[in-house]
Chain A
């Protein structure tokens, strides 16, 4: 690809007038993030790039959503899979605010309970966990009361 077309592409992707840019998403979780935020169900213009080079993550993904501003409780849902994600809020082509995601106290849905004998793995029950520790992330199931910790965390 020539330098000119590279620049063109870059321009095309980054040019959002109003909206939110979510950066530093681990590349393997891009589509999970899209699903968790419900971006596959809205009509807004969305562009994303994935497998981009990142010093911090190895390979990262980025999502740009026009005319969409997330509430903190919405965006914090992705904290489990994209703890280093940050948000740039764009108004009139300018970054007016930067945000980082924070792990919420309670996580509804999203995560699967590690316990195969848990009711949530046998019936259509929305999982619900209390975050009891953050390093490593330890989730206590509201139903079976067992802990799902760190690398055991599986996204539904």
Chain B
């Protein structure tokens, strides 16, 4: 059976740990000709330069060849071809498909249509599992463990798919504690709180971004987007209430690291960048190793 990666919950805890182990291996030795010239299609039906470059770097380092769409405006989809037909065609050319699509559920559907494995590089507001695995690898690298961590999630917790997936993945490990800091309009949806309650995992909700962060092992920052608010005045009020500044980090734990899926706008002040607790730029590099690990696992090469 082919091993698609569509949703973070497609992987078991053992698979999470295997990806972590492989990512560390690739970090030691990034250039390994495991794909041996196999063709990987990178289909970006929605532009995402950051994610595409990360995947294409990973594929190149594994000795694969790339075909793909980088600009959806010039692709067959712009001419009205269905996703079904695009995938049928491309899956005959390539050994693996990496796909980004603006619609929710497009990746699961593509995996059904395609005889070759599909890795989801983001489907609308639904899932972005490779981001979650690189977040986990960043947490493991900086904390030395995935157990017993106090994770603070800040900003847009309602629409932020990265926080939802990370929450579900980290729930597989021992004794996590979650702290959610967000405006009421963007609070963590009920279904995730129910998920945590069913698993007897502790979580706390806060409206104010204050000194409670002194307890944190990880602060996961997200962007509060203007288009999420129906009332622009509300956005203006909220926008500056969830900004992390260097002065706020004074009393925090020495092992604390700050993550952000990037791109950031103003939610992390640039004065944080030089603090050793800022980890978001290193986090992006971890993405290449993690994606090498995911591809090697998907293609049964490791």
Using a CB–CB cutoff of 8 Å, the interface residues on chain A facing chain B are 115, 117-120, 122-125, 141-147
Contacts and interface: CB of A to CB of B under 8 A. Distances in A.
A146 B125 CA distance: 10
B84 A118 contact: no
- Residue among A119, A146, A147 with max Cβ neighbours from chain B (10 Å): A119
Nearest to B109: A119
A156 to B, nearest CB: 16
Nearest to B101: A119
Contact of B127 (A118, A122, A124, A145): A145
A119 B191 contact: no
B140 interface: no
- Residue among B7, B82, B103, B105 with max Cβ neighbours from chain A (10 Å): B105
Contact of B84 (A117, A120, A123, A141): A123
B108 interface: yes
Interface in B117-151: 123-127
A123 B83 contact: yes
A144 B191 contact: no
Given A119-B83, A123-B83, A143 B125 contact: no
Given A117-B103, A119-B105, A144 B124 contact: yes
21 contacts: A117-B102, A117-B103, A119-B101, A119-B104, A119-B106, A119-B108, A120-B105, A123-B83, A125-B109, A141-B105, A142-B105, A143-B104, A143-B105, A144-B103, A144-B105, A145-B7, A145-B104, A145-B105, A145-B126, A145-B127, A146-B126
A123 B191 CA distance: 27
A142 B108 contact: yes
A-B pairs with lowest CB-CB distance, top 3: A143-B105, A144-B104, A144-B105
B109 A123 contact: yes
Contacts of A125: 109
Contacts of B126: 144-146
B81 to A, nearest CB: 11
Given A123-B84, A144-B124, A145-B7, A118 B105 contact: yes
A117 B124 contact: yes
Given A123-B83, A123-B109, 15 more contacts: A117-B102, A118-B103, A118-B105, A119-B83, A119-B101, A119-B104, A119-B105, A119-B109, A124-B84, A143-B109, A144-B105, A144-B124, A145-B104, A145-B105, A147-B191
Contacts of B108: 119, 142-143
Nearest to A125: B109
Contacts of A144: 103-105, 123-124, 126
A145 B107 CA distance: 11
A118 B104 contact: yes
Contacts of B7: 145
A141 B109 CA distance: 12
Nearest to A122: B103
Contacts of B101: 119
Contacts of B82: 123-124
Given A145-B7, A145-B126, A115 B83 contact: no
B84 A115 contact: no
Contacts of A117: 102-104, 124-125
A80 B7 CA distance: 27
B188 to A, nearest CB: 15
B8 to A, nearest CB: 11
A69 B116 CA distance: 41
